[in-house]
Structure 1
Amino acid sequence: MFARFKALNPKPTTELEFSTPYELLVAVTLSAQMTDTGVNKATRRLFPVANTPEQIAALGVEGLAPYIATINFNRTKGANVIAAAHQLIERHGGEVPRDRESLEALPGVGRKTANVVLNTAFGEAAMAVDTHIFRVSNRTGLAPGKDVLEVEKALLKAVPPDYLHDAHHWLILHGRYTCKARKPDCPHCPIIDLCRYPDKTPETAVTK
């Protein structure tokens, strides 16, 4: 499975736009129940104005609000981004920490966000399980689980070490563009013969 993913996309990465670990942290914090495209539209306005904890903290909740007005749950997310900026300044010298415990202690940062930052910003083999990865892991039979933590642990065991760093991105992209929730594009799936999903979509259902 992963050999095929790699052949098709040798260097996968997030579709969120960022240039520093802190920009990625902010983008992922804003991304819950949002498309990456929607987040990128907001951060393209925000980051040229403020893209460090000090600059974001200086904006304050009200100053940040216009930049993220199009983001779902923007008030809660905005408050978390500002609170996290202050905590980064006070506890970490304005730098994004590289350990899970410190990341998860930040307001608005859960296990998934911490895993994304550890993997994408710092190159660690962390597995962030979002709705796409949860669906693909269960649907294909790769790493079945009843909740995201169970799937995360199963993936860490199932994915070969050489592919572990990029597996998160391959699975997200596969779920986003091929193994879609309502109508998976099974006829054009590169791993259809490896997938254990019993209700594969026929060609006619996709082409109509």
Structure 2
Amino acid sequence: MNRLAAAGARTLGIALLTTVLVHPATATAASDTKTSSIPVDPATSIQMQVSANCDAAQARCFFTTTASMLTREGPTGFPGDTWARQTVTLRSSSKDVWQQAWYSAPSGNPRELKGANHENVLSKMYRALDDVELSITYFGGGPITRFTADGDSVPIQWRTGLPATDADFIACSQIQVVYGGVNLTTPSACAQTRFG
């Protein structure tokens, strides 16, 4: 009886292994998140977080950047007298790829191709042969949502004009924040991913 149970368990194990090998799990998106910060004082720092993910089904990559003050109570927005300038750079690991990008600053506003002024947040997009740079200037403080930008990009191969799904997508950001005697710039945070 024990031999029959052992043989049945072995057969079930082989069947499960065959199912896993024949039908592997498929991933359609890959993502990465990176954070950088600079101390203001022993209890507070300014933080920049960048997330990026690529969706193979859409042949499109997405990014989100969030700036905040990190205190002992957790992340919070910036004081009312804040002036800040953020730079976001989107590029590929290949110099033969350019980015067809759109963005919202602050997040939730209509997507932009060139520049805009939403809620006293001025933004401008600069295109180069192999990257895109966003310049976002904040006049006044507010909650973290005001200091969040997002967007998407289709990496395109120069040679073929087709989506470049075989190269990494890289989103980097840093922010200079000025308020009440503080004038600091975070190190650049870079999220790097590729199509799954």
TM-score if structure 2 supplies the norm length? 0.23
From the CA coordinates, give the structure whose radius of gyration is larger: 2
Which is strand-richer, 1 or 2?
Answer: 2
TM-score if structure 1 supplies the norm length? 0.22
